[in-house]
């Protein structure tokens, strides 16, 4: 995977420096390093989220793109809350990864205003009912819970949910959560608390 990713990035003229695990990278990392950091959530020795935490402790502000084959909402919330610029779920297309890396390199001073403008434009294009579905969806409510809250059928929620994902150009729920956080519609702390509270509920009561 490491070798194929290096080959992919070098094939479009990018300079790539590969590392076999997180600790090796941190040993070589310097405060003046420029570019974009591509991290897998699960790596030998030290996972990507731990590497991100270590960089923050050192005051190193490299833009980070995460990739993961096991993404869930709390994981994505933690990554974005700590400053990640993108979170890509495996399996992903090569072009998706290239587009994300090249976008970050074009805005490597962490100017994400073009991305935020695009997210706000997509939000503005949602209908009122789609907006009604968006927030509960981001906060982890099921389609049944959303249907009961809005007084509509689950089938109708399914329809609006699909439209929200398509209009927001979100390939999966974690991406939608990241957009909501970036746009200021969701508090990552509140999302994390809600998830922990839900985890404490007796499964027999769900």
Residue 188 CA neighbour count, 13 Å, CB half: 20
List the structure tokens of 85: 């610029």
Task: Give the least confident one: 72-76, 81-85, 151-155, 201-205.
Answer: 201-205
pLDDT at 203 exceeding the cut of 60: no
Please name which of 139, 140, 101 lies closest in space to residue 14, comparing C-alpha atoms. Answer: 101
Task: Give the least confident one: 10-14, 31-35, 121-125, 155-159.
Answer: 31-35
The Cα–Cα gap between 101 and 47 comes to 20
Hey, what CATH class is 115-201 in? mainly alpha
Strands of the sheet containing 37-40, edge to edge, are: 37-40, 64-68, 86-89
Intervals of CATH 3.40.50.2300 along the chain: 2-110
pLDDT band, residue 190 (cuts 50/70/90): low
The Cα–Cα gap between 139 and 134 comes to 9
**Would you state the pLDDT for residue 194?**
46
Q: Got the DSSP string for 110-179?
A: T--HHHHHHHHHHHHTS-HHHHHHHHHHHTT--HHHHHHHHT--HHHHHHHHHHHHHHTT-SSHHHHHHH
Across 175-196, average pLDDT: 68
Q: Which residue bears the tokens 């089938």?
A: 155
Across 165-177, average pLDDT: 89
Intervals of CATH 1.10.10.10 along the chain: 115-201
| 2-110: in CATH 3.40.50.2300 | yes
**pLDDT, tens digit, for every residue of 9-67?**
999 888 899 998 889 899 888 877 788 999 998 888 888 999 999 998 888 888 899 99
- CA distances in angstroms from 9 to 12, 139, 161, 183, listed in the order given: 6, 35, 34, 29
**Would you state the pLDDT for residue 113?**
58
**pLDDT, tens digit, for every residue of 68-120?**
887 777 788 888 877 888 888 888 889 989 988 988 887 764 454 567 778 88
């Amino acid at each position: 995977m490491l070798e194929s990713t290096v080959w992919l990035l070098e094939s479009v003229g990018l300079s790539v420096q590969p590392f076999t695990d997180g600790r090796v990278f941190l040993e070589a990392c310097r405060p003046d390093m420029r570019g974009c950091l591509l991290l897998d959530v699960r790596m030998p020795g030290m996972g990507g989220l731990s590497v991100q935490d270590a960089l923050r402790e050192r005051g190193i502000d490299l833009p980070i793109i995460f990739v993961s084959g096991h993404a869930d909402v709390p994981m994505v919330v933690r990554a974005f809350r700590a400053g990640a610029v993108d979170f890509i779920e495996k399996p992903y297309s090569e072009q998706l990864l290239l587009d994300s890396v090249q976008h970050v390199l074009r805005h490597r001073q962490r100017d994400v205003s073009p991305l935020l403008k695009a997210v706000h434009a997509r939000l503005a294009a949602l209908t009122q009912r789609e907006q009604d579905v968006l927030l509960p969806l981001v906060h982890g409510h099921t389609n049944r819970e959303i249907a009961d809250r809005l007084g509509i059928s689950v089938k109708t929620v399914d329809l609006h949910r699909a439209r929200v994902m398509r209009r927001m150009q979100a390939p999966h729920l974690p991406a939608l959560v990241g957009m909501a956080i970036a746009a200021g519609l969701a508090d990552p702390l509140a999302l994390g608390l809600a998830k922990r509270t839900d985890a404490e509920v007796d499964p027999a009561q769900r």
